[in-house]
Amino acid sequence: MKIFLDTANIDELKKGVAYGIIDGATTNPSLIAKENKGFIPLVKEILDVVPGPVSVEVTATSAEEMIAEAKKYAELSENVVIKVPINLEGLKVVKTLSESNIKTNVTLIFSSSQALLAAKAGATYVSPFVGRIDDISGSGMELIEEIAQVFDNYSIETEIIVASVRHPQHFVQSALIGADIATIPFSTLTKLLKHPLTDIGMEKFLKDWEKVKK
Ligand code: E4P
């Protein structure tokens, strides 16, 4: 499974890339707003740090305006992936961009019918938001299983990005289902490594090493 970092924070992205486990990044308007920087300069900084696909979201609401925004962002780097909301205007955008070989990540996916339509329009990726479904007492991971099954039924090549990941179990279940990508916040990334037996084992090894004659 590929791992993307779901952040626009340059320090977090630099740390993740240095660990050698980050394949790309996803941003959204809320993550960008948190950084208090100019939009295009920040996107350029992110593209300089991340050696893979970087999702950048359009914010217009008509297809024509979204396409104009998308074309401007796509010129920044071949790693730019245009994040497009799932709605009728969004489908037109995805179709047009895919015909120009511009990659798209269809976002705010909450049902397998939305994912299937996005894929049919030519989406490179779909982003189902598992955490937000759990927040309203649904099962985000059941949606991932459903979309994986539908895509498998028809050999659809659109990749599934498990988004709105809140904890390590979302990550582990994504891998068990066989999702293509999990996009995770930096705080979840560090939790994935934590194990009390690893900490206890390290402490014991270091204590015993002190007893060795050197
Ligand atoms: C994904 O692409 C989104 O940026 C993100 O995962 C949303 O997560 P949230 O529900 O924690 O805001």
The residue among 69, 71, 138, 129 whose CA lies nearest residue 100 is 71
Ligand 1 center–CA 183 separation, angstroms: 8
CB of 132 within 6 A of ligand 1: the answer is yes
CB of 28 within 6 A of ligand 1: the answer is yes
The whole-angstrom separation of Cα 130 and Cα 173 is: 11
Task: Give the mutation target among 164, 165, 174, 186 for probing the ligand 1 site: most ligand atoms within 8 A of CB.
Answer: 164
Joined together, the tokens standing for residue 177 give 């289902």
pLDDT in tens, 148-178: 999 999 999 999 999 999 999 999 999 999 9
State the distance between the two ends of the chain, measured CA to CA, in whole angstroms.
Answer: 43
The residue among 207, 149, 198, 212 whose CA lies nearest residue 178 is 149
> What domains can you pick out in the chain, each with its CATH number?
2-211 (3.20.20.70)
pLDDT in tens, 188-203: 999 999 999 999 999 9
Joined together, the tokens standing for residue 66 give 């979204």
Mean pLDDT, range 133-155, rounded to an integer? 98
pLDDT in tens, 7-38: 999 999 999 999 999 999 999 999 999 999 99
Mean pLDDT, range 70-96, rounded to an integer? 98
Mean pLDDT, range 203-213, rounded to an integer? 97
Catalytic residues: 83
pLDDT score at 109: 98
The residue among 33, 14, 125, 129 whose CA lies nearest residue 80 is 125
Q: Which residue CA neighbors atom 8 of ligand 1 most closely? A: 164
The whole-angstrom separation of Cα 108 and Cα 131 is: 11
Query: Residues 68, 76: contact at Cβ < 8 Å?
Result: no
Ligand 1 center–CA 205 separation, angstroms: 40
